[in-house]
Amino acid sequence: MKKISGIASFILALILLVLPVADGFSFTANAASEWVCAWATSIVDSSISIASLSVQDIIPSDGTIRIEFKVTAGGEKLRFKFSNEHGSAPITISEATVGRTLGSGEASVERNTFCAITFGGNKSVSIPKGETLWSDPVDFKTEALEAISVSLYFENTTYITSAGLSNARTFLGLGTLVGNHPSHCYNPKITLPREINIVADTITYHTTPFLCQVDTLVPAGTKDVAVFIGDSTLVNDTYYYFAEKLVKGGIDNISVVNQAVIGNKLLSDGTGLVGKLYGKALIDRFERDALNISGVKYIFVKIGLNDILHQFSKSMGSVVPHYSTDDIIDGYKDLIKRAHAKGIKIYFFTKSPWKGYERAFLGQTGDVVWNKEMQDMCDELTRWIKKNIYADGYIDCSPLANPADPYALCPSFTPDGAHLTPIASVALADLIPVSLVGVDKELKTSAKLHRVDPYKEKKQIIYDMEHPEEKTTAKKEEATTAKREESTTAKREESTTASSQESTTKAPVYTPETTTFPNYIPQEIVTVPVIGDVSATKPSETPVVNPNYNITDNIPDEIGNGTPIAFLLILFLVVIVSGAVLFLTMGRKNSEEFQ
């Protein structure tokens, strides 16, 4: 019996020894997966201040909004981050779902793809003012570049004070469904959809209420994230075209997200009647919108133009802080220092041309007028960006310039002198060396993927970005006496006396294959003028530094918590030890019987 007692004590000690090991397996299982950001938009205060009043868009009671966007990374699960950062009171989301988008801009979701988004196991949640929260993980598998839709139902009237203004399209549904259930969350097509957006002169900004980030769950170490951050010259689809080029080139380990904000400055917050829309100074939002993004490894910065322009503007010049180029450069250095402290590589875009931009304000142009003093400041910043030894590289925007005036954008590349048209976004995406994100092979350009040529020579091009069509226009002859003659020979059939007739030949018409641009690009017609071929112009490539760094968020306990592994290990040991005990017991019994 003493021997059996000793064996039992040994078994107990062994099990106690194994338990910490099993707990270690739990940690290993957690580390096997990680969250990376697949989509994002920077949240701003979307209200407008008029005197002492704050005016916001609203979601009426029993209203449902449907947010359409595309993820740039695929994964097995999704989680959603919601923000009430600028709210003056709590907001309550009564119900939420995610599904696969059906059609572009139709507020439609594929039937039978809906999945509930829950919060602590509940279908509704209240977000306190000034706070953000994450949803529970959702079992929803996605592929890179896939379009999905998030539907949010609000039982009570809700003011939209926290919203992004890019990277998605949001539709408000009104009306009651069959069965008197007001939620459209599970309805394939919401009733009477109205898009929520802000139209400023020639630019449409798409409001995205409350939803600010979407992460996907991937195997640890398999994907990195590149964050584009800056002002309204990046509030476009440059980031998406860059991501698309990577994915369609077979590169599936890089997610690309955009955190640009209209009117944003590096060193000071937005000012004026619509100043809240311009967001916090980038130097202050850098932590939230770049450094803390799940899985970030690369940051692309395009900022500083508004720090110069706003201090020279008629509407804001007397109220915004005035900064020198040295101040802005010090701000750049601060961003670099903070990125490198976390092992993140950081790149800067040079200043893109902007001559001709007058900053339309309340329907009036001329709020900002180009002058050499402002241009000299921009040029000084560009020189520093190209020559500094602190950042990891830069993207040269000079190929976007008008060959006739290097201080201005090509007319086809801008609707107002500073902001970019869709075709310009394609061009800018192709100016970013893929080597900056660790890709060492040549990829097909975004322009070739969409069968468009931003730098077309000797003809005018009209692009309808939803249904591209290229039309050529013959160049007018300078000399009126010069004639282009082209004869055609008529096919003789019955009469041998029929004479040949001359015809004036129209300019050839070429129609490229239909291409689909991101769903949230509004239909826009732009005209590309005759400009030079800059295909030989390539941005400088900086040697790639590979820091040993990887950001991961904590995985919720219910995901990969290692319990099955620990249980199997303990069960295995118990079986082995029990077998040993049984063997020794039988051996002892046989020995006693033999004696």
- Give whichever of 104-118, 171-185, 541-555 has the largest mean pLDDT: 104-118
Instruction: pLDDT band for 26, please (50, 70, 90 cuts).
Output: very low
**Strand-pair category, 345-349 with 296-302:** parallel
Give the whole-angstrom CA distance, residue 256 versus residue 48. 30
3-state secondary structure of 80: strand
Query: Which of 229-243, 406-420, 522-536 is predicted with the least confidence, judged by mean pLDDT?
Result: 522-536
Whether 25 contacts 569, CB under 8 Å = yes
Whether 68 contacts 149, CB under 8 Å = yes
pLDDT tens sequence across 245-268: 999 999 999 999 999 999 999 999
Q: Tell me the two tokens of residue 288.
A: 């939230």
Give the whole-angstrom CA distance, residue 83 versus residue 44. 10
pLDDT at 403 over 60: yes
Instruction: pLDDT band for 442, please (50, 70, 90 cuts).
Output: very high
Segment 284-311 shows an average pLDDT of: 97
pLDDT of residue 531: 33
pLDDT top residue among 248 and 55? 248
| Contacts within 8 Å (CB) and 24+ apart, 480-485 | none
Which of 279, 277, 234, 227 is CA-nearest to residue 255? Answer: 227
pLDDT tens sequence across 116-128: 999 999 999 999 9
What mean pLDDT is reported for the chain? 77
pLDDT of residue 360: 72
pLDDT at 372 over 60: yes
pLDDT of residue 253: 97
Q: Is the pTM of this model over 0.85?
A: no
Geometric angle at alpha carbon 399, from 452 and 300, rounded to 5° = 90
DSSP 238-295: HHHHHHHHHHHTT--SEEEEE---TT--SSS---STTGGGG-S-HHHHHIIIIITSTT
